[in-house]
Amino acid sequence: MDGKAAQIGVALRCRWRRIDLSAVAERPETEIETVPMTDSQKQCGECSLCCKVLRIPELEKPKDHWCPNFAAGMGCGIYPDRPPSCQAFNCVWLTEPSLGPEWKPSISKMVLAGKPNLLMVHVDPGANRPWRTEPYYTDLKRMAAQGQKNGVAVLVVDRGRNIAILPDREMDLGYIDAQARVSFEIVNTAKGPEWRVRVTAAGESEPGPQGASDR
Ligand code: SF4
Ligand code: SF4
Mean pLDDT check: name the lowest of 50-54, 119-123, 200-204.
200-204
- Is the distance from the beta carbon of residue 44 to the nearest atom of ligand 1 less than 6 Å? yes
pLDDT band at 39 (very low <50, low <70, confident <90, very high): low
Q: Is 203 helix (H, G, I), strand (E, B) or coil?
A: coil
DSSP-derived secondary structure letter, 125: T
Q: Is 86 in the pocket of ligand 1 (CB under 6 A)?
A: no
| CB of 105 shorter than 6 A to ligand 1 | yes
pLDDT of 92 higher than 70? yes
Cα-trace Rg, the chain: 17
Closest ligand 2 atom to Cα of 75: 7
DSSP assignment of 1-16 equals: -HHHHHHHHHHH--S-
Judged against a pLDDT cut of 90, whether residue 144 lies above it is answered with yes
**Interacting residues of 85 by C-beta distance below 8 A, sequence separation 6+:** 28, 29, 30, 54, 56, 57, 58
Residue 212: is its pLDDT beyond 70?
A: no
Stretch 67-96: mean pLDDT, rounded?
96
Ligand 1 centre to CA of 15 (Å) is: 27
Mean pLDDT of 4-8: 32
Instruction: List 199's β-bridge partners, or say none.
Output: 182
Find the mean pLDDT for residues 31-54: 74
Q: For residues 170-177, give the mean pLDDT.
A: 90
Q: Is 47 in the pocket of ligand 1 (CB under 6 A)?
A: yes
Q: Cα torsion for 51, 84, 131, 13, to the nearest 10°?
A: 170
pLDDT band at 207 (very low <50, low <70, confident <90, very high): low
Distance 112 CA to ligand 1 centre (A): 9
Q: Residues 6 or more apart from 180 whose CB is under 8 A from it?
A: 22, 199, 200, 201, 202
Residue with more model confidence, 73 or 41: 73
Q: Which of 124, 115, 181, 125 is nearest to 153 (CA)?
A: 115
Which residue is closest in CA terms to ligand 2's atom 8?
A: 51
The C-alpha atoms of residue 60 and residue 159 are separated, in whole angstroms, by 18
Q: Which DSSP category does 57 fall into?
A: G
Q: Considering only residues 198 and 153, tell me which one the structure prediction assigns the higher pLDDT.
A: 153
In this structure, are residues 104 and 124 in contact, taking their beta carbons and an 8 Å threshold?
no
* Torsion angles phi and psi, residue 6, rounded to 5: -60, -45
Please give the Cα distance from 164 to 5 (Å, whole number). 17
Q: Nearest bound ligand to CA 67?
A: 2
What ligand has the least distance to the C-alpha of 111?
1
Residue located nearest, by CA, to atom 2 of ligand 1: 91
- Cα 42 from chain centroid? 20
pLDDT at res. 7: 31
What is the residue type of 79?
A: Y
